[in-house]
A and B are shown apart, each in its own frame.
Chain A
Amino acid sequence: MDAVAQWRNQWFDYTHYLRREGFLDDQFAQLKKLQDENSPDFVVEVVSLFFQDSEKLLNNMARALEQNVVDFKQVDACVHQFKGSSAWIGAMRLKNVCINFRNYCEAQNLEGCLGCLQQVRQECLALKNNLENLFRLEQQIVAAGGSIPVME
């Protein structure tokens, strides 16, 4: 099997794994479809923006939850935004944690919120690693002279 075929097989296995584990859903495939020769870095740019944004939002949430009197509405607003961004890139697990998080905000449950914040950080890190792996695989395919498969 040549190099391109090997890398492409790895890509298929990896994307199947990511879908199966719920890291990415169909929306990510939709996002990839928006990329073309005129904007070959579109997905990478969007993903970078997402992680930059999430950094800010997570810090805002953490700060808000540290206050003596917690403004749960403010936390909720951050989570709402985070959930929206997660949905755009198909980050299903992140999105689901946000749903729980919002419920805890509404119930003004500090412990629940702190638990969710922890979870969000972990999921974010996992997703970042996964996407970096995926993009690296794609670079290998291109470097070997092949073309990146279309995500179903």
Chain B
Amino acid sequence: MSAVRMGLNGDEKPHVLAVDDSVLDRKIIERLLTNSSCKVTTAEDAHGALELLGLADGQQNFSNTVSDVNMIITDYCMPGMTGYELLKKIKESPTAKEIPVVVVSSENIQTRIEKCLEEGAEEFLLKPLRQSDVKRLRCHLTKDGNPTDEGMLCVGR
């Protein structure tokens, strides 16, 4: 029940963008990710995340930033733009839509989960996250915005 191969070069760490308005959550999620050998960038809101991805209104799309991110983890409940709205914006972007997005929430609301999955989220996880949750997410990671197609298996959960 593990990924056969990551679609990444040997020792390159996957780059994950973690979005959460709580400084406490960001600190712990960052730790969980670095413990899973990921390089982490954090954003405290959806707008910050969009800027980092080169998708903010008025930004020229510099492909550098977008292709550098291998996965996005976002909180659902955020003031201003929610994680769901962020997910939609990412999936609407021709350049960013292939980046896997994982939504996390402290609330287990079925309709919320369904709409995120329908919108293209890879997974919807409940907080607090555990190391095992994050380790498992690695099977969703991509390289250069392309889904890994080099014989990688993501078997079971």
Task: A27-B128, A39-B31, A53-B23 given; name 19 further pairs at CB < 8 Å.
Answer: A30-B130, A31-B28, A34-B28, A34-B32, A34-B131, A45-B27, A50-B24, A53-B24, A80-B106, A81-B22, A83-B106, A84-B25, A84-B127, A85-B25, A87-B106, A87-B127, A87-B128, A88-B28, A88-B128
What is the CA–CA distance of A42 and B77 in the complex, to the nearest angstrom? Answer: 25
Say yes or no: is B35 at the interface (Cβ < 8 Å to chain A). yes
Report A-chain residues with C-beta under 8 Å of the C-beta of B27. 45-46, 49
Contact string against A for B residues 105-131, beta-carbon threshold 8 Å, 1 for contact and 0 otherwise: 010000000000000000000011011
Interface secondary structure of A, over-half rule: helix
Contact string against B for A residues 60-88, beta-carbon threshold 8 Å, 1 for contact and 0 otherwise: 00000000000000000000110111011
**A141–chain B nearest beta-carbon distance, Å:** 23
What is the CA–CA distance of A20 and B127 in the complex, to the nearest angstrom? Answer: 23
Question: Which of the residues A27, A39, A80, A87 comes within 8 Å of B77, measured between beta carbons?
Answer: A80
Evaluate contact between A33 and B131: CB separation under 8 angstroms: yes
Report B-chain residues with C-beta under 8 Å of the C-beta of A45. 27
Size of interface on A: residues with Cβ below 8 Å to B: 19
Interface secondary structure of B, over-half rule: helix
What is the CA–CA distance of A45 and B31 in the complex, to the nearest angstrom? Answer: 12
What is the CA–CA distance of A30 and B130 in the complex, to the nearest angstrom? Answer: 7
Evaluate contact between B127 and A88: CB separation under 8 angstroms: yes
B28: nearest chain-A partner, CB-CB = A88
B20: nearest chain-A partner, CB-CB = A84
Report B-chain residues with C-beta under 8 Å of the C-beta of A83. 106
Give the B-binding residues of A (Cβ under 8 A): 27, 30-31, 33-34, 39, 42, 45-46, 49-50, 53, 80-81, 83-85, 87-88
What is the CA–CA distance of A88 and B24 in the complex, to the nearest angstrom? Answer: 8
| Interface CB pairs A-B, < 8 A, 7 | A27-B128, A30-B130, A31-B28, A50-B24, A84-B25, A84-B106, A87-B127
Report B-chain residues with C-beta under 8 Å of the C-beta of A27. 128
Interface centre among B22, B23, B24, B130 (most CB of A within 10 A): B24
Question: Which of the residues B25, B31, B127 comes within 8 Å of A34, measured between beta carbons?
Answer: B31
B31: nearest chain-A partner, CB-CB = A34
**Closest 3 interchain pairs by CB?**
A84-B106, A88-B128, A49-B24
**B27–chain A nearest beta-carbon distance, Å:** 6
What is the CA–CA distance of A26 and B22 in the complex, to the nearest angstrom? Answer: 22
What is the CA–CA distance of A31 and B31 in the complex, to the nearest angstrom? Answer: 10
A26: nearest chain-B partner, CB-CB = B130
**A78–chain B nearest beta-carbon distance, Å:** 12
What is the CA–CA distance of A75 and B125 in the complex, to the nearest angstrom? Answer: 25
> Within residues 3 to 26 of chain B, which ones have a CB less than 8 A from any CB in chain A?
22-25
B79: nearest chain-A partner, CB-CB = A77
